Amino acid sequence: MSLDPRTPVLVGAGQVTNRPGVASPLPAGIDPPEPGAEPLELMVAAVRAAAADCEGAGAGDRLLTQTASLRVIRPLSWHYTDAATPLARRLGIEPGELAQSAIGGNSPQMVASASARAIAAGELDVVVITGAECMGSRMAYRRAHDGAEPPWSVQPSTTPAPVPLGTDRAPITDEEGRTGLVQPIHVYPLFEQAIRAAAGRSPKEHTEVVGALWARFSAVAAGNPWAWDRHQWSAEELVTPAPDNRMIATPYTKRMVAYDRVDQGAALLMCSVERAQAAGVPQDRWVFPVAGADAHDHWFITGRDDLGRSPAIAAAGRAVLGFGGGTVDDVAHVDLYSCFPCAVQMGAEALGLGIDDPSRPLTVTGGLSFFGGPINDYATHAIAQMAHELRHDPGSLGLVTALGWYATKHAVGLWSTSPPAGGFRWADVQDEVDALPRRQSAEDHVGDVTVETYTVICDRDGLPERAICALLTADGRRTWGTSTDPGTVNELAETDGLGRRATVDGNRHVALH
């Protein structure tokens, strides 16, 4: 195939895992970050690793000097008003554009798709995408120094902000906030119980399904040299509460949720085919972005018709697979965003993937519980790992999904070592999603309700402490309720509360019938 010289291609992918006592598999000549290094230092190492990954005599370094846009996935483990400027200085490059993403785990795939579009349009020639999180070192330092912050770089308040990528917006309504839907661990268990309700499973049956799914993810991480946790856990070890695996929020134990106490960074080097050829990047390093799509589900949780499904992933998936000229059965490698088991199940259902196919695991990294959950930046690792998988399986297709907030913002990307016949294509499917049914809010409803889904938040000892319930009125509107009553909380923790009749009062307190 004769390629348009503007065809976008990923030529370098680098990762760094800076775990104490464990050597990071960096290319020769790249020094690993010091123990306790800040995110900026991991980004430097990851970008240099991405340049080395291009292979060819100095090809990656030549492309780095030509960087037109340096795009940083905004770290959440440390505040940088502008991480791109000091990063460019450390790398010795002078990009024409310095940019930083909005908050959200969808950002890496979203930025990769936006970069591919800009390259194809002739707006940019070489783009570097990178991010890193060091929550592990930050928390360790604070524990050892009576809560003091580590001596990492601090930018003055007058530091100009870089070019923004993506949109920041409040993720919850006031009503949702008053109910306690603030932390992801308070929200995603509600989605998990909704999935269980749709499947018609008992709590025990559903736990067995989810445990088996997570054990398969653990097995992938065990073979990944960049994974934070390379121990292969059994399903029983994952789902059974224990002193080192306390229940956090039913039905999730500690080992079933994203592990963010990691120090990890990743980088992607993208350019036009013309620049890749001129720099001397061997073609066996080329990985093409085939198609991308972005959308968000109904932004606020209250308005979503079904809390166990993601129409936005479904619409985005249809778009990218349509552009790729095939179906999900043609995709050999998959990485579904995996902050919690429900996110994987929602993605799989939306895309038509089975969750128990041993020939096609739904992760190439091992997922956020085991590979590591570097907050905003996980999907940069997923894309980097996908590039590695595709190079070892030339001509195959790889699918990456990424999400932000409360399964709110979504990005889907299709990748291959074979160039797309029609060039890279991107879709905004938001109008399609916005046209779908919405739940009406019953914020001020007082009286009889039905428990749609629920979770019990546990204390640091794993003991039931507080219940959060999504409630439906007789006419199908949704409201929210909570309870700290020991009887109610323990009943929901020990029995199946789905479909239970209840009453909610003006203070949003729930009493079961």
pLDDT digits (tens, 9 = 90+) for 190-219: 999 999 999 999 999 999 999 999 999 999
Asked whether residue 335 falls in the same domain as residue 412, the answer is yes
pLDDT, tens digit (0-9, with 9 covering 90-100), for 129-183: 999 999 999 999 999 999 999 999 999 999 999 999 998 899 999 999 999 999 9
What percent of the chain is modeled with pLDDT above 70? 100
In this structure, the answer to whether residues 332 and 456 fall within a common structural domain is: no
Average pLDDT over residues 320-345: 96
Same domain, 410 and 500: no
- Per-residue pLDDT for 414 more than 70? yes
Domain contains 230:
no
Residue 219 placed within a domain:
no
Residue 462 shares a structural domain with residue 483: yes
Q: Taking the model in full, what pTM does it have?
A: 0.97
Side-by-side strand order, sheet with 425-428: 331-335, 397-404, 409-416, 288-296, 425-428
Domain-terminating residue out of 402, 434, 466 = 434
Give the Cα separation of 20 and 139 in Å (integer): 14
Cβ atoms within 10 Å, residue 378: 31
Kindly state whether residue 65 falls inside one of the protein's structural domains.
Answer: yes
My answer on whether 18 and 145 are in the same domain is: yes
Residue 22 has a pLDDT of 82
What's the burial of 151, exposed, middle or buried (CB within 10 Å: 0-12/13-18/19+)?
exposed
The answer on pLDDT for 2 being more than 90 is: no
Do 476 and 354 fall into the same domain? no
Residue 174 lies in a domain: no
Q: How many domains does the chain have?
A: 2
State which of 410, 434, 458 marks the end of a domain: 434
Q: What is the CATH number of the domain that holds 335?
A: 3.40.47.10
Examine the fold and report which residue of 408, 434, 460 is the final residue of a domain before the chain moves on. 434
Range of the domain at 75: 8-169+260-434
Same domain, 343 and 375: yes
> Is 314 found in the same domain as 451?
no
Residue 312 located in a structural domain: yes
Instruction: Kindly state whether residues 386 and 473 are assigned to the same domain.
Output: no
Kindly report the CATH number assigned to the domain that includes residue 473: 2.40.50.840
Same domain for 143 and 287: yes
CB 376 within 8 A of CB 75: yes
pLDDT in tens, 380-407: 999 999 999 999 999 999 999 999 999 9
For 66, residues 6+ apart whose C-beta sits below 8 A from its C-beta are 125, 126, 271, 275, 279
Residues 332 and 453 in one domain: no
Statement to judge: residues 430 and 453 lie in one domain: no
- Examine residue 241 and state whether it is found in any structural domain, yes or no: no
pLDDT value, residue 358 = 87
- Whether 115 is covered by a domain: the verdict is yes
